[in-house]
Amino acid sequence: MTLLLSEADVREVLTMPLALEVVEEASRRQAAGEMILHTRRRLEAPEKAFLHYMAAADTVSGYMGMKIYTSVRGALRFLVPLYSGENGELLALLEADYLGQMRTGAASGLATKYMSRTDARTVGIIGTGLQARTQLEAVAAVRRIEAIRVFGRNPERRAQFCREMSARLGVALNPASSAEEAVRATDIVVTATTSSNPVVLGEWLAPGTHVNAIGANFPQKRELDSEAVRRAAVLAVDSIEQSKLEAGDLIHVLGEDPSRWAAVTELAAIVSGRVSGRTNARDITLFKSNGIAIWDVAVAARVYELAQQRQLGRRIPLWEHSASAN
């Protein structure tokens, strides 16, 4: 029988330390060639209704699965079907909104761990949505953050975000009056927006800054201007193949020139130690995150295992009639 795990079930077991651990382990397996990845594809129906899907398999653990979600008139609905690679059994169906927030935050936390300066203490973040929350939680888990500046277009939401996250992280969050004010002179910059146009300019970045850009994953969208990308001494992505399809921040600068893309590395290579996350304290480093199914499947598998141990979720019968008929 298939285990159905609701958002509440996922929240009960999935913590940021766990997400960081799982995403790091999955990245090492990705670097070792033990993970198989199919990049995101999108089906566009009339009235801008989208169906998005991406898949991955872990040849070590034997799990495989996909993330599938819709985005229609601003509403998103996420689902991860998790299968056994050994017998094809559908092990679990997971509601995956929170799971996605946590794995995306964990990826930026991992990039921050391996690419930011070890003495990084300040953060500037653009965006005050749900993704921004887990971004800060992950960054604060890997660096001893002392101050955070926040900019979002809505002043009331910005102030509320600062109050809530200050209490949650035990770190002072201060609202900034502009994106530039949030970014200038900070050690770590995070962009977590839905903007189609740059919200961070390269001229604002101080030497030694690390940037996590996570909001734009359509080729026509970007959160960073061209100068911000060009100033990066180390430029990492989750998947080069997927980035060539949808990382607008990079596509605007690198185009289809193979020689330019040759300078881009995958975060997994940095985590595995094959590539250095930075060469000196003055490097500007950039992690452009699009989100890959490797993370979804790895985190879903760990959640599934823990949910079984804690007897969470609900068993649902699928294909039982056809199995008995055979």
Known catalytic residues are: 67
Strand 75-84 to 49-58 pairing: unpaired
**Which has the closest alpha carbon to 16: 95, 110, 79?**
110
Contacts for 54 with CB less than 8 Å, ≥ 6 apart: 38, 39, 40, 41, 66, 67, 291, 292, 293, 296
Contacts for 250 with CB less than 8 Å, ≥ 6 apart: 229, 235, 237, 243, 264, 288
- What is the rounded CA–CA span in Å between residue 189 and residue 176? 13
37 SS3 class? strand
The upper half-sphere exposure of residue 192, i.e. CA atoms within 13 Å in the direction of its Cβ, equals 22
HEC letters along 67-96: EEEEEECCEEEEEEEEEECCCCCEEEEEEC
**Which has the closest alpha carbon to 93: 183, 217, 10?**
10
Biggest CA–CA distance in the chain, Å, is: 68
